[in-house]
Amino acid sequence: MRIVFAGTPEFAVPCLRKAAAHNEVVAVYTQPDRPAGRGRGLAPSPVKQVAQELGVPVMQPENFRSAQAKAQLRALEPELMVVVAYGLILPQSVLDIPAEGCWNVHASLLPRWRGAAPIQRAIQAGDRETGVCLMKMEKGLDTGPVLLSQSIGIGANETGGQLHDRLSQLGAQVLGDGLGLLRAGIRPVPTPQPEAGVTYAHKLDKAEAKLDWSRPAAVLADTVRAFNPWPVAEAQLAGERLRLHGVVALDEAHHARPGELLRAGREGLDVACGEGVLRIRVLQREGGKAITAADFLNARQDLKAGA
């Protein structure tokens, strides 16, 4: 099949490779190069880098509002457009161009977690299951009918980064299944999403990373996992601003003020929360790298002595 692929971040790379394995990817659309790194030089997206490796032409329009951008896509005569974390809203006039429409690989079990950050929001909400949906796109935000889906469990200690990588591979598997059916002349049956259970995964904001000790420890632990590796949860503790990389919630009753350091030892720093206790195992001081609680205490003997 003649496929146009649209995607930008690392999450979309396995899907691009899967699409290119048994089909003719005639073009790849990706976001324009953006400033990155300390030098803030323009850097190509991960999808662009792989497209160049595969020898596929790359298109980088700012949007699809212009007649020229739409005409360029139409001239490619795509049978199908595959969209994975592209980062642009496609108008109906674009969705109508490919003969078989546009398919989207979305990292949640729709209609739960429509929107920009489904992986992190699932962990943050304490979900124990998520998955990938192959959806036929329509004008609404992630509202289209589901063609195929696959669910997986979320590990008790799994981070946003770890789940991202697993769902990225699962997305390629589900996309491959759908493309295989289409090549065989079998169109996957579109199943409308139910109206019940719709939730939105709003884009991550760095301001959300600041933890509120008055919240339950279990909620804070889920937030720390969800925000690893970005934006990384942070909190004020023992007179310092710390970034938290590894924590565990303890179901422990106490009468301490939220944010009070209860214990400090090799196992971690135990902090009183609105409910329960949060044990910090891996943390990062300002300007430093991620270290264990034991290494932190070697530098903060005052805490160790008072524990």
Q: 3-state secondary structure string, 62-129?
A: CCCCCHHHHHHHHHCCCCEEEEECCCCCCCHHHHCCCCCCEEEEECCCCCCCEECCHHHHHHHCCCCE
- 162 to 117, 132, 213, 255, 263: CA distances (angstroms): 14, 15, 25, 35, 30
Q: Name the phi and psi angles at 170, rounded to 5.
A: -65, -35
> Before 216, cis peptide (omega within 30)?
no
Q: Is 108 annotated to bind ligand?
A: yes
Q: Is 214 annotated to bind ligand?
A: no
Whole-number Å distance between alpha carbons of 13 and 18: 9
Q: Is 151 annotated to bind ligand?
A: no
Query: Cβ distance 172 to 14 under 8 Å?
Result: yes
Pairing of strands 129-136, 146-153: antiparallel
Query: Cβ distance 55 to 24 under 8 Å?
Result: no
- State the amino acid at position 23 in one-letter form: N
Tokens of 167: 């769902």
Residue 197 region by backbone torsions, left for phi larger than 0, else alpha for psi between -120 and 50, else beta: left
- State the amino acid at position 80 in one-letter form: L
Whole-number Å distance between alpha carbons of 172 and 68: 31
Query: Cβ distance 166 to 132 under 8 Å?
Result: no
Which residues face 233 on adjacent strands? 244
Binding residues, by number, are 108-111
Binding residues for (6S)-5,6,7,8-tetrahydrofolate, by number, are 108-111
